[in-house]
Amino acid sequence: MTHPVTAKRRAALAAQVEKTVLTTPVYDIHTHLYDPAFGGLLLWGIDDLLVYHYLVAEGFRQFDLTYEKFWAMSKREQADAIWNALFIEHSPISEACRGVLTTLNRLGLDVKRRDLPALRKWFAKWNVADYTTHCMDVAGVSRICMTNSPFDDEERVVWERGFRRDERFAAALRIDPLLLSWEGTAAPRLRDWGYSVTPELSEKTVSEVRRFLADWTRRINAQYLMVSLPPDFTYPGDNVCARLMETAVLPHCREAGLPFAMMPGVKRAVNPLLRMAGDGVGHCDTNTYESLIAAHPDNQFLITALARENQYSLCVAARKFRNLHLFGCWWFTNTPYLIEEMTRMRLELIGLSVTPQHSDARVLDQIIYKWEHSRRIIGRVLAEKYQDLAATGWEPTNAEIQRDVQDLFGGAFQQFCGRQQARAAEAPKRGKRRA
């Protein structure tokens, strides 16, 4: 029996899905935002929106300025240069430019006047506490996960001093220098901080690295550990990164009950003259990640890859490994065309066991546009999937749609993290039974 779906039913389903994706609160699982207690580290407002490194890279494609001249300018002057080059002298159609306009529009500002001084005046009226709540309300974001690095001197002192946590902000322990610059950066820093490590990865050193990870996991109440990786990282392999992962990071994750998030595919400082905007992309070898995950069935892994070329093989890997959870459209893939492609592919290959998006916001206000743009795309793809189901006679209920969207917007992620916690809670019991 066929089930022709009337145009009216299709439209009703699409409207229901759209309403649900636009109103369901999101847990934004990877950002570069900070609890307001971090003061100046939490960026917000029109000037920070304009000097976002995504826009700096685009600005340099239009500027007559030299790199040196631009970097010598104040933040406000840089913002002026970017506004003129990318919004006034050309139409702001790139995703990062459009994002500024979506944000301003949803904040109730009139963008058509193209009046930067008036915009600055509006932002100057806010205080950070009220503005944080306002942005989270407008964006429909209920919880924000930060990226927290003990190797960041400005950030570390705030943690060491201690502060009252804003419970809307969760923490993630970022350990790039530990895994990628052991001898040059991490080992000397750890020594300064009282961990007795040597450049060689002796047993003692590894146990001190674990002590460091345990201290910081506890101090920040980390929800997961995280690293970004170059395209050429290989596992198995005789490299320091792989050895530290195996001997320190993954055992620590098992003990602490936390997933390990990997972000492969970034080529740092392809053009150092662009500073933070100078990183590029390269595709990684999915075999490496399959081998690592297969060798550690008791660890839970989160992955978001930077290269478009890796998305398909990673979806297939996720079908093979239940301890792998894919998340987000990271950085250069956080553009409508690729979000749509990736979301469609993920839903078709791994269903709802995925977290299709994170914002990666560096400026608080960006959560407004990053989520608005993604919600609409995720909603479109999802509506099509429900319409396909309806054509078989399977009618998704509103409650089912709501449940599914909640899973996509943080629920599936939390269930996935919960599995590692459950394992960690079981481990001591298992040990006792054996004894």
Q: Which residues bind Zn ion (CB under 5 A)?
A: 360
Q: Which residues would be at the binding site for ligand RAT (CB under 6 A)? A: 32, 228, 331, 360, 362
Output 47 or 360, the one with its CB closest to Zn ion: 360
362 binds, among Zn ion, ligand RAT, none (CB under 5 to 8 A by kind): ligand RAT
Instruction: Identify the residue whose tokens are 């100078």.
Output: 278
Q: Residue 328 CB, nearest distance to Zn ion (Å)? A: 9
Q: Identify the residue whose tokens are 């298992």.
A: 430
Shortest Cβ 228–ligand RAT spacing (Å):
4
CB of 263 to Zn ion, least distance (A): 7
**What is the CA 161 to chain-centroid distance, rounded?**
26
What are the DSSP E strand ranges found in 234-331? 260-264, 266-267, 280-281, 301-303, 324-326
Of 30 and 346, the one with the shorter C-beta distance to ligand RAT is 30
Cβ neighbours for 19, distance < 8 A, ≥ 6 positions apart: none
Q: What is the DSSP string of 353-379?
A: SSB------SBTTHHHHHHHHHHHHHH
Where does residue 393 fall: left (phi above 0), alpha (psi -120 to 50 degrees), or beta otherwise? left
- Tell the smallest beta-carbon distance from residue 365 to ligand RAT (Å): 15
CA separation, residue 393 to residues 4, 246, 311, 349 (Å): 9, 49, 32, 22
* Sign of torsion over alpha carbons 69, 43, 153, 148: negative
When the beta carbons of 28 and 290 are compared against Zn ion, the nearer one is 28
For residue 362, the minimal CB distance to ligand RAT (Å) is: 5
The dihedral sign for the CA sequence 146, 149, 152, 158: positive
Closer CB to ligand RAT, residue 13 or residue 266? 266
Residue at shortest CB range from ligand RAT: 331
Nearer to Zn ion, 279 or 404 (CB): 279
Which neighbouring-strand residues pair with 301?
A: 260, 324
Reported as half-sphere exposure (CB side, CA atoms, 13 A), residue 27 has a value of 21
Task: Yes or no: say if 195 and 246 are a contact pair by the CB < 8 Å rule.
Answer: no
Q: How far apart are CA 62 and CA 72, in angstroms?
A: 18
Rounded least distance, CB 114 to ligand RAT, Å: 27
Question: Toward Zn ion, which CB reaches closer, 116 or 305?
Answer: 305
At its nearest, how many Å lie between ligand RAT and the CB of residue 418?
A: 24
Output 28 or 360, the one with its CB closest to Zn ion. Answer: 360
In whole angstroms, give the CA distance from residue 427 to residue 76. 54
- Among residues 255, 312, 21, the alpha carbon closest in space to that of 140 is found at 21
Name the binder of 404 from ligand RAT, Zn ion, none, CB < 5-8 A by kind. Answer: none
**Nearer CB in complex with ligand RAT: 5/173:** 173
Nearest approach, Cβ of 29 to ligand RAT (angstroms)?
A: 12
Nearer to Zn ion, 176 or 360 (CB): 360
Nearest distance from C-beta of residue 179 to ligand RAT, angstroms: 13
State the burial class of residue 225 (Cβ atoms within 10 Å of its Cβ: 0-12, 13-18, 19+): buried
